[in-house]
C-alpha cells in the first residue's frame, strides 16, 4: 500500500471528524431509516465530506457508503464508508462510536481505519503491515483459554434468536461463574481488541460497511476475523453468512469459540 493512499485515508477520517465534532451533544436533526435505525445530519455530513475528497482525487475508484449507496460498482479498488458506526451512541452522547473507512481490492479489505473523532483515537490497519493506534504500533494480547476471556458484543438484541443462543454459549464458556460480558461499543470494541483490551467480539447482522474496515485493523495487530464458520471475511460475507462476525485477539482460540457456538 502506497504512503499516498494511507495519507488519503487519514485525510478522509480527518474530514469526517471535522463534520461530526461540532454536532456531538449539540443540536441536530435525525430521521428513522427503513430498518428503523437512526440517521443524523452528522452521518450525512461526514459521508459527504469523505465523498467529495474521493471524487476529486480518486475518480476511478468505487465508493460504497452507508448513507449514499454505491458508485462505480465493480471497480477494482472500492472505498467503503460508514460515517458513524454506532449512531445510537452518538445520539446518546456516548463517545464510543466511530468512523469506519475501508479500501477493498477486488473484494478483499486491504486497508482499514477506525476513528473516534471525539477522543481523537485512530486505529489504522494495512494489509501486510502492523496496525497503529495514534501512530504507535499495537498488538492484541495472548489468550490461553476461552475460559476467562473478555467477550464483547454491541447488543444481543441485534441477533436472530438462534444466533443469540450461540453467542450465549460462548459467554457461558468464558464466564462459567458469573456472566459478565461487555455490551455496547460497535466498532470501538474492535479497536480495543486490537489494542489488547478485549479478547473476543461476536456480532450478527453486520453489513459490509460495518466490518470491512475492521479486518485490516484486527489482523494487522495479530488477531483474526472470520464468519461464524471460520471463513475469512470479504465483500460477500454479509450476504452469504448474514453478517455473522467473530474477532479474536488470539487466533488459536477460534476452534474453541466455534465449538462453544455449536454446543460442544
Reported as a single tens digit per residue, the pLDDT across 152-193 is: 999 988 898 889 999 999 999 999 988 789 999 999 999 999
- Position of cell 461540532? 22
What dotted CATH number matches 3-137?
3.30.540.10
At residue 196 the predicted structure's pLDDT band, cuts being 50, 70 and 90, is very high
Instruction: Please check the confidence at residue 239 and state whether its pLDDT lies above 60.
Output: yes
151-262 CATH, one of 3.30.450.20, 3.90.550.10, 3.40.190.80, 3.40.50.970: 3.40.190.80
Residues 153, 12: Cα–Cα separation, whole Å: 27
DSSP H or E stretch at residue 99 = strand 98-105
Query: What pLDDT does 177 receive?
Result: 87
Q: Is 114 annotated as a binding residue?
A: no
Instruction: Please check the confidence at residue 35 and state whether its pLDDT lies above 70.
Output: no
DSSP H or E stretch at residue 161 = helix 161-174
For the residues of 33-93, what is the DSSP string, one character each?
-TTS-EEEHHHHHHHHHHHHHHHHH-TTSEEEETTTEEESTT-SEEEEEEEEETHHHHHTT
At residue 77 the predicted structure's pLDDT band, cuts being 50, 70 and 90, is very high
Query: What pLDDT does 34 receive?
Result: 58
Domain extents in the chain:
3-137, 151-262
Q: Is 165 annotated as a binding residue?
A: no
At residue 52 the predicted structure's pLDDT band, cuts being 50, 70 and 90, is very high
Query: What pLDDT does 83 receive?
Result: 97
Q: Is 115 annotated as a binding residue?
A: no
Task: Please compute the mean of the pLDDT values over residues 37-42 and round it to a whole number.
Answer: 78
Q: Is 66 annotated as a binding residue?
A: yes
Residue 145, phi-psi category: left (phi > 0), alpha (psi -120 to 50), beta (remainder) = beta
**Per-residue pLDDT tens over the stretch 127-139:** 999 999 999 999 9
Q: What does the chain come to in residues?
A: 264
Query: pTM (2 decimals)?
Result: 0.95
Task: Please compute the mean of the pLDDT values over residues 3-25 and round it to a whole number.
Answer: 96
Task: Please compute the mean of the pLDDT values over residues 193-198 and round it to a whole number.
Answer: 98
CA 250-204-152 angle, 5° bins: 45
Query: What pLDDT does 32 receive?
Result: 62
Q: Is 246 annotated as a binding residue?
A: no
Residue of higher predicted confidence among 9 and 29: 9
Amino acid at each position: 500500500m502506497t504512503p499516498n493512499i494511507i495519507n488519503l485515508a487519514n485525510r478522509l477520517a480527518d474530514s469526517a471528524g471535522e463534520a461530526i465534532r461540532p454536532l456531538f451533544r449539540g443540536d441536530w436533526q435525525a430521521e428513522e431509516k427503513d430498518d428503523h435505525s437512526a440517521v443524523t445530519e452528522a452521518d450525512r455530513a461526514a459521508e459527504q465530506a469523505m465523498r467529495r475528497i474521493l471524487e476529486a482525487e480518486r475518480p476511478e475508484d468505487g465508493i460504497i457508503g452507508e448513507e449514499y449507496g454505491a458508485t462505480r460498482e465493480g471497480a477494482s479498488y472500492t472505498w467503503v464508508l460508514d460515517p458513524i458506526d454506532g449512531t445510537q451512541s452518538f445520539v446518546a452522547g456516548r463517545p464510543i462510536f466511530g468512523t469506519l473507512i475501508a479500501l477493498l481490492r477486488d473484494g478483499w479489505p486491504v486497508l482499514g481505519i477506525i476513528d473516534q473523532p471525539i477522543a481523537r483515537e485512530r486505529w489504522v490497519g494495512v494489509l501486510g503491515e502492523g496496525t497503529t493506534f495514534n501512530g504507535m504500533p499495537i498488538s492484541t494480547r495472548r489468550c490461553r483459554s476461552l475460559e476467562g476471556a473478555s467477550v464483547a458484543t454491541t447488543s444481543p438484541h441485534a441477533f436472530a434468536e438462534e444466533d443469540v443462543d450461540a453467542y450465549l454459549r460462548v459467554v457461558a464458556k468464558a464466564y462459567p461463574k458469573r456472566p459478565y460480558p461487555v455490551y455496547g461499543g460497535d466498532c470501538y470494541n474492535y479497536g480495543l481488541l486490537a489494542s489488547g483490551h478485549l479478547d473476543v467480539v461476536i456480532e450478527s447482522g453486520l453489513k459490509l460497511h460495518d466490518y470491512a474496515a475492521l479486518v485490516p485493523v484486527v489482523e494487522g495487530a495479530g488477531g483474526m476475523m472470520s464468519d461464524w464458520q471460520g471463513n475469512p471475511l470479504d465483500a460477500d460475507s454479509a450476504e452469504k453468512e448474514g453478517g455473522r462476525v467473530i474477532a479474536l485477539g488470539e487466533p488459536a482460540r477460534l476452534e474453541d469459540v466455534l465449538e462453544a457456538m455449536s454446543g460442544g
